[in-house]
A and B are shown apart, each in its own frame.
Chain A
């Protein structure tokens, strides 16, 4: 079942990329998806049952909307810092504690942090994220944790755990 889910997803991705319905193309897609599934299916989708839960998909859509909004905000933030003559930066690397358990959720959280205003993930050590922050507005752990990951952590918990 896990292999089948992955195979169908990869095949659809191939069809979307090539965008023709020729027989040769379909056969090539099946072969490529099959090889990829055989090699990688044990590494991904460790809990594939979650894929068929509509509530999780709903939260995923909310998450994507929030994420795009944060991305746009991030760009105006960078534009402001770059164009301002005095350059208002106060950079530093802070340690942020996250309560997510699964690896995939942590990866997505790290990616989200990288795309949001003024922050970029440097490293992960178990549940601690090291985040480079362009404007350290507070050195109190509870305040900056809320500022950096508060928006995403709850949504990701709803999606993946």
Chain B
């Protein structure tokens, strides 16, 4: 059981690291949010799952397990709020952008 939890910890930390690397490397707010949401959420969920395997059905383990769906909902909603408000604030899409249908709605 302990080895499973350690493997999950390592996977989670690696995905968190990749998410942060994406924050630095990708060109604009929108693409950065992509990497921040996906990698960091699953990385953190993996760490929480590792915590559950480590402590089993105890107070800590169950809390970690319940935190996973809560984290999923809050992080997706937060990403949506951030990306929408940054569009409304007028932050430009990067030069590589090929299509923008959202502009039509604004006009």
Contacts and interface: CB of A to CB of B under 8 A. Distances in A.
Nearest to A20: B59
B97 A92 contact: yes
B54 interface: no
A78 B20 CA distance: 11
The range of chain A's interface size is 35 or more
A125 B84 CA distance: 12
Contacts of B58: 19
Chain A: interface secondary structure? mixed
B26 A87 contact: yes
B100 A78 contact: no
Q: Which of A17, A75, A83, A111 has the most CB of B within 10 A?
A: A75
B34 to A, nearest CB: 5
B1 interface: no
Interface in A83-102: 83, 87, 89-95
A89 B96 contact: yes
A13 interface: yes
A28 to B, nearest CB: 16
B22 A82 contact: yes
A157 B10 CA distance: 37
B9 interface: no
Contact of A82 (B21, B30, B94): B21
Interface residues of B, number: 46
A140 to B, nearest CB: 11
Contact of B83 (A74, A94, A118, A122): A122
Contacts of B93: 91-93
A91 B96 CA distance: 7
Contacts of B62: 16-17, 19
Chain B: interface secondary structure? helix
B79 A120 contact: yes
Contacts of A136: 98-99
A110 B37 CA distance: 14
B30 A83 contact: no
A130 to B, nearest CB: 5
B79 A114 contact: yes
A89 B94 CA distance: 11
B89 interface: no
B48 interface: no
Interface of B: 15, 18-19, 21-22, 25-28, 30-31, 33-35, 37-39, 41-43, 58-59, 62-63, 66, 72-73, 76-77, 79-80, 83-84, 87, 93-94, 96-105
